[in-house]
A and B are shown apart, each in its own frame.
Chain A
Amino acid sequence: MTTSRPSLRKLIAFAIAAGALVPAPYATAGSKRFDVGSPAYRQECGSCHVPFPPALLSAPSWRAVMQGLPTHFGTDASVDPVPRAEIAAFLESHAGTRDTSEYGKPLLRLSRTTWFAKEHRKHVAPPVLARPEVKSIANCAACHPGAEQGRYDERDIRIPGGGAK
């Protein structure tokens, strides 16, 4: 029986195609750039905290956030109908594809999601969070200088007070 060996060219083409199927933003390990570009989103959802990348929560999670704006983590974050519609559309179209639910209910808190927790478990222990320059796991910009623009490149990370990378 003879078997035909795939050509090297076909192998490379397959590898490239397979790489293209990996959903952004998880496609490249070191460079993490997320779209946070909606003006209404930056305006209404980027004042009290950085505009969190929509890609880090699923669409059901974002819908739950938008439903619960009057009691948004202890404050009333209600938004007027016009910007609200723009924000909802932006979140829906840029939501992540990973499941961010727990026990069947969509999570609202990014830091509780599996991927986020895994990324930060090693480097953001309670002593790091307690430092005044950090203060909160929600303070992305403390360690990620490009957070306002959705840039979380690993090479740019600087943990105030030092920390293992």
Chain B
Amino acid sequence: MRLLSLALAFATLPALAATPADLQTGYAAQARSANPAFAGFSADRGRTFFTATHGREWSCATCHGATPTAPGKHATTGKTIAPLAPAANAQRLASPDKAEKWFRRNCLDVAGRECTASEKGDVIAYLLTLK
């Protein structure tokens, strides 16, 4: 059911390039269907979520940096990670598929579960405040 609603949420997006706002639209639709009282995303909540640990060793910031306008560094391999903030890296948040893939992987690493649409949208809202 979730997969269906997510697919529907993203169905209107062009196959190739999208904007962060397009991603937000998709996640907002999903968040609303999960919770009719959904009142929009919050960059503050997003910053808190991004920098906190969630029951495990890593936070998002562990690899991406607390304000990811600079390159990050993988906590295990040491590999440089290109900046996550769209203002610092035009390739970020331009593909719903790619965003979904990395949310799935990294939320599993950080929180041991999938992130909710609301959490994803909050994180994107936070990233969009970074210059």
* Cβ contacts A to B, 14 pairs, < 8 Å: A48-B76, A48-B77, A48-B79, A49-B74, A75-B105, A76-B105, A76-B108, A80-B101, A133-B78, A134-B78, A138-B76, A138-B77, A139-B79, A141-B80
- The secondary structure that dominates the B interface is mixed
In the complex, whether A136 has a CB less than 8 A from a CB of chain B is yes
- Residues of chain B within 8 A of A141, CB atoms compared: 79-80
Contact (Cβ within 8 A) B109 A136: no
Per-residue CB proximity of B28-52 to A under 8 Å, as 1/0?
A: 0000000000000000000000000
Shortest beta-carbon distance, A53 to chain B, in Å?
15
Residues of B86-102 whose CB lies within 8 A of A = 101
In the complex, whether A66 has a CB less than 8 A from a CB of chain B is no
In the complex, whether A74 has a CB less than 8 A from a CB of chain B is yes
Cα–Cα distance between A84 and B30 once the two chains are bound (Å): 28
- Residues of chain B within 8 A of A47, CB atoms compared: 79, 81
Cα–Cα distance between A114 and B109 once the two chains are bound (Å): 31
Per-residue CB proximity of A127-145 to B under 8 Å, as 1/0?
A: 0000001111011011000
Cα–Cα distance between A47 and B63 once the two chains are bound (Å): 12
How many chain A residues have a CB neighbour from B under 8 Å?
A: 18
Shortest beta-carbon distance, A90 to chain B, in Å?
19
Residue from A48, A76, A133, A134 in contact with B74 in the complex, judged by beta carbons closer than 8 Å = A48
Closest to A77 in B: B105
In the complex, whether A50 has a CB less than 8 A from a CB of chain B is yes
Interface centre among B73, B79, B80, by most chain A C-beta atoms within 10 angstroms, is: B79
Interface, chain B (partner A; CB < 8 A): 73-74, 76-81, 101, 105, 108-109
Cα–Cα distance between A73 and B79 once the two chains are bound (Å): 15
Shortest beta-carbon distance, A84 to chain B, in Å?
13
- Residues of chain A within 8 A of B78, CB atoms compared: 133-136, 138-139, 142
- Residues of chain B within 8 A of A74, CB atoms compared: 76
Cα–Cα distance between A50 and B77 once the two chains are bound (Å): 9
Closest to B106 in A: A75
Contact (Cβ within 8 A) B105 A49: no
Shortest beta-carbon distance, B76 to chain A, in Å?
6
Shortest beta-carbon distance, B125 to chain A, in Å?
24
Cα–Cα distance between A134 and B77 once the two chains are bound (Å): 9
Shortest beta-carbon distance, B70 to chain A, in Å?
15
Contact (Cβ within 8 A) A50 B105: no
Cα–Cα distance between A77 and B78 once the two chains are bound (Å): 17
Shortest 8 CB-CB distances between A and B: which pairs?
A135-B78, A139-B78, A49-B77, A138-B77, A136-B78, A49-B79, A136-B77, A48-B74
Shortest beta-carbon distance, B43 to chain A, in Å?
26
Cα–Cα distance between A142 and B74 once the two chains are bound (Å): 13
Closest to B75 in A: A135
Cα–Cα distance between A139 and B79 once the two chains are bound (Å): 6
